[in-house]
Amino acid sequence: MDRKIPKIPCVICDAVEQEKESIISFAQELVRIQSVTGAEGEVAKSVARKMRELNYDKVIEDSAGNVLGIVGSGETKILFDSHMDTVEVTDASAWTYPPFGGEIHEGRLYGRGAVDMKGSLAVTVYVGAVAKRLGLLDGKTLYISASTLEEDYDGEMVARVLREWEIRPDHVIIGEATDLNIGYGHRGRALIKITVNGRATHGSKPELGINPVYTLQHVIGRIEILANFLDSQTKEKGSVAITRIGCVTASDNSVPDSAYIILDRRLSIQENMDTIRAEMEEVCRGVDGAWEICDVPGVSWTGVPVTLHSYLPAWEISMEEKLVKKAREACRTVLGREVICFKPGYSTNAAVTAGIFHIPTIILGPGDMSVAHRTDEYCEVKALLQACEIYLHLCEKL
């Protein structure tokens, strides 16, 4: 006679099952709120309200509109970060389901931000409440961060939270989509502006001026050589791309005063600011011009000015780090398999937590990042619930 193997009791999975409908409903609520970068106010209010409803110990709303929920008061400090902003929807008529409908079809939550990253945000808000209720925070403090402006200002708002409230977590989990695998690093990035000087004159007398656009051709040729060199590398590759070109001119009938290009420089783990400096000195050699790292100005939804100094270093975490080991255990417990450890191709707020603050950080979240920013963006509902279980097991194990 066949005998069924009794199921081992699982307090965490039972707790997630109990909160299942609430988690899904909250994720839908967040997706239904439009919150492009710089306009996250209504999502921030919804998150803060939910944290208070769930009996967080403290809920902080800072001057730039970030929300930070705190539970526990122990020495081991764990930060979960998710951003509240999304990219715009420019093709609403092309969506199969309304981009702000938060509808669920065949097990998928559809809508802008479903995977990037309101699904993960909803999950982490409930993680704080469930971890507290289950007593998983003995000796621990859990920070749940809902940050603004990530899409255009990677990490700047997380840096503000850490500095403004003098928080130094021992472990950071960025909930960006990884298909519940573990991101252990990613490339850095810098925006670089190269300006070439000229001498303006009327367009009818070009011989009296110096056209900086012609000079810029030499710079562009050197950039192309650099791009090909970087692409030829066999190890982890950096890259460079010209993303904007322009000039400063009095009119369409004038030789410009100056011309410029913007470079997107992606940095491998072997590259840093010294690498950029050496490259740019060679690119600008013999040219009347200069290069600089771009400062990108902006304004938060609360009206606070923000500036991103757009040099963000590459980072990676050792496979021997406690955070990685415990995350792998937590994933194995929930998913019943070994997960992949990899370096995502996209950039995240980890560029600051790991790259600048040097805090052990991983990227671990539900969903497929390849559907982010696209028509019919979605996240699997099952993955949201699995992420909730994984995060709770991780809280228990750290």
**What is the mean pLDDT for each group of 10 consecutive residues in the chain (398 residues)?**
48 96 98 97 98 98 96 97 97 97 98 98 98 96 97 92 94 98 97 97 95 95 97 92 96 96 97 97 96 95 94 96 98 96 94 96 97 97 98 96
Identify residue 142 by its one-letter amino acid code: L
Whether 192 and 340 share a structural domain: no
- What are the φ/ψ torsions at residue 166 (nearest 5 degrees)? 50, 50
1 in a structural domain = no
pLDDT of 9? 55
Longest dimension (CA), the chain: 100
pLDDT of 3? 42
Question: Residue 167 and residue 165: Cα distance in Å, rounded?
Answer: 6
54 in a structural domain = yes
5 in a structural domain = no
Question: Residue 235 and residue 247: Cα distance in Å, rounded?
Answer: 37
Whether 69 and 165 share a structural domain: yes
Whether 119 and 44 share a structural domain: yes
Whether 226 and 373 share a structural domain: no
Indicate the residue among 283, 306, 329 that finishes a domain. 306
Quick check: 360 and 321 in contact, CB under 8 A?
A: yes
2 in a structural domain = no
Identify residue 392 by its one-letter amino acid code: L
Quick check: 133 and 57 in contact, CB under 8 A?
A: no
pLDDT of 294? 96
Whether 200 and 73 share a structural domain: no
Domain count, the chain: 2
Indicate the residue among 278, 306, 334 that finishes a domain. 306
Identify residue 197 by its one-letter amino acid code: N
Question: Residue 131 and residue 78: Cα distance in Å, rounded?
Answer: 12
The two tokens of residue 344 are 């995502």
Whether 67 and 143 share a structural domain: yes
Whether 39 and 154 share a structural domain: yes
Whether 302 and 318 share a structural domain: no
3 in a structural domain = no
Domain carrying residue 192: 188-306
Whether 272 and 373 share a structural domain: no
The two tokens of residue 186 are 């990613």
4 in a structural domain = no
Reported residue count of the chain is 398
CATH number at residue 180: 3.40.630.10
Whether 142 and 15 share a structural domain: yes
Whether 182 and 44 share a structural domain: yes
Indicate the residue among 306, 338, 353 that finishes a domain. 306
Quick check: 30 and 148 in contact, CB under 8 A?
A: no
272 in a structural domain = yes
Q: Helix, strand, or coil here: 74?
A: coil
CATH number at residue 268: 3.30.70.360
CA 51 to chain centroid: 22
Q: Helix, strand, or coil here: 92?
A: helix
pTM: 0.92
- Does the bond joining 117 to the residue before it have cis omega, within 30 degrees of 0? yes
Whether 114 and 160 share a structural domain: yes
Report which DSSP code applies to 72. Answer: E
233 in a structural domain = yes
